């Protein structure tokens, strides 16, 4: 899964850099939020801190 996300990131998430718009930014913000939830849970950080 991580390798696939890295490859997608390397390919600018299937978007040409000159064509990025605010909807792309919102999508990436959502992806980042989900990844933060995963890492917080995995490393007992954020709301998962003990």
Report how far residue 3's alpha carbon sits from residue 7's, in angstroms, rounded to the nearest whole number: 6
Expressed as residue numbers, the domain containing 33 is: 23-50
For 12-34, write each residue's pLDDT tens digit: 999 998 999 999 999 999 999 99
pTM for the model: 0.79
CA distances 44 to 2, 3, 22, 47, 50, Å, are 20, 23, 32, 8, 7
For the chain, how many structural domains are there in total? 1
* Burial class (CB within 10 angstroms; exposed 0-12, middle 13-18, buried 19+) of 28: middle
pLDDT level of residue 37 (50, 70, 90 thresholds): very high
- Whether residue 11 is contained in a domain is answered as no
Least Cα distance to 8 among 30, 31, 34 occurs for 31
- Whether residue 39 is contained in a domain is answered as yes
């Amino acid at each position: 899964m991580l390798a696939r996300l890295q490859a997608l990131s390397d390919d600018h998430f299937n978007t040409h850099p000159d064509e990025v718009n605010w909807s792309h930014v919102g999508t990436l913000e959502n992806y980042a939020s989900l990844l933060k939830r995963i890492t917080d849970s995995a490393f007992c950080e954020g709301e998962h801190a003990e």
